[in-house]
Amino acid sequence: MSASKREEVVSHLRYIRLELREMHQMLIKDDLLPDLNHAKEVHAQLDALHELLLNKGNKKLKSEFGDI
C-alpha cells in the first residue's frame, strides 16, 4: 500500500474511532442514544474506508491478471 493511501486509511480510522468513542460515552454517561445523523456520518466514513480498501485490492488483481 502506498504511503498516501496508508495515511488516508489511518486518517479515516482515527476519525471513526473518535466518533465511536463519543457515541459510546453518550451511551454510558447519559444513557442516551446518539443522534441519527451522527451515526449516519460514521457509517458513511466506514463505507468510504471500505471503498478505499476495495479499490486497492481491485487494482492489484487487475494488474496481476490483466495479461490474460
pLDDT digits (tens, 9 = 90+) for 9-40: 888 888 888 888 888 888 888 877 778 888 88
- The model's pTM is 0.54
Mean pLDDT for 58-67 is: 49
The DSSP letter of residue 2 is -
**pLDDT number for residue 57:** 57
Q: Helices 3-25 and 36-65: crossing angle, nearest 10°?
A: 160
- Cα–Cα nearest to 46, from 66, 21, 9, 16: 16
- Grid coordinates in use for 56? 486497492
